[in-house]
Each structure stands twice: as C-alpha cells, then as structure tokens.
Amino acid sequence: MRYALESVVARGTGHNAYIAGYRVGGKTGTAQKVKDGKYMSGNYITSFIGFMPADDPQIVVYIAIDNAKGITQYGGTVAAPIAKNVLENAINILNIEKRSDEIEREFSILDKQYIIVPNVVGMSVKDALKNLKKFKVEYSGSGDTVTYQSPSAGENIYEGETIRLLLS
C-alpha cells in the first residue's frame, strides 16, 4: 500500500508533493460540497494526506482546504504543494536522510522539470554558458574563468532557475 501511495506522488495526482531524493507517499482528495441535499457549484474541499519516508514513515501530514479561491480546485493542485512545504521542513527537523531509491518522478509536458546542475568551475564563461543553457545565469567579478557557482554541481533545481557564477 505504501508503494502504491508513493506512486501517486511520483506518477499521479500527488506529483506536486514530490521531493527529489526522498520517498514521499500520499493521496489527493477532491470532494464537492453539498448544501440542502444538492451539490454546490464550484465549491469543493480539496485535500492531501502524505507521509515520508514511504517505506518507513516518520511523519504524516494532512492538509484540507475548504473552497479555495483563484485556483482549480483539486487536491493535487491546492493541498499537495502545502503538504510538500511541511514535509520539506520536516526533513531537517527529523534528520531524514536523502536517498537514491525513490520512485523517479514522471513529468508531463506542462510540468517544470528538475535538472542536475553541471559543474562549471574552472571553465571559461563561454563554455560555462554552453553548459548552462537550461538555466538563467548571473555572474559577477572580473576575468573569464568561473571560480565559484551557486547552486553547487550535482544539486537538482528547476529548469530556468538562476545559477550564479563568480569570475576571476
């Protein structure tokens, strides 16, 4: 059951709770509200229950939002991102170790994708920019050689995020 719920986060409606390097399981919920025996139009309770690590849970979080405004009302779009923030904070508090055996996230064409940051320290600016095509790049300093980069090589960040380089 825990594996099935991990699949919901990695490959299904709970993908907005996915945390790279951690085994997160969960289930989304979307319930249309009823008043006087009739379904209310456009009025939902959206929810997400999540836990991690999926194979040996140390934390469980449940988020329910009553009639969210300004967003499509689904548990995966409203409640799952909030649960993700709670779970990310729990990583440090509970000393949950990063792992490599999580179910890899499947992306749709509409999703932002995580990309591993390449190592460009020691490269010329020209070569570094070639290697960082999928990111926004800011640099400071004088010179033509990259001496420092942030985030560091090997980190997972969203495609299009900013990488800062120090030149000397």
Return the number of other C-beta atoms located less than 10 Å from residue 99's C-beta.
Answer: 11
CATH number for position 54 = 3.30.450.330
56 in a domain, yes or no? yes
- The C-alpha atoms of residue 28 and residue 76 are separated, in whole angstroms, by 6
Q: Which of 93, 124, 155 is the last residue of a domain?
A: 93
Give residue-wise pLDDT tens across range 24-79: 999 999 999 999 999 999 899 999 999 999 999 999 999 999 998 878 889 999 99
C-alpha distances out from residue 131 to 27, 36, 102, 135, 162, Å: 38, 60, 27, 9, 13
> E strands of 92-161, at which residues?
114-116, 136-141, 146-150, 156-158
Residue 99 placed within a domain: no
pLDDT for the residue numbered 129: 95
CATH of the domain at 135: 3.30.10.20
- Number of structural domains in the chain: 2
The three-point CA angle 139-143-145 to 5° equals 75
Q: What is the pTM of this model?
A: 0.65
In a domain, 7, yes or no: yes
Q: Which pLDDT does position 100 carry in this prediction?
A: 82
Query: Are residues 69 and 32 both part of a single domain?
Result: yes
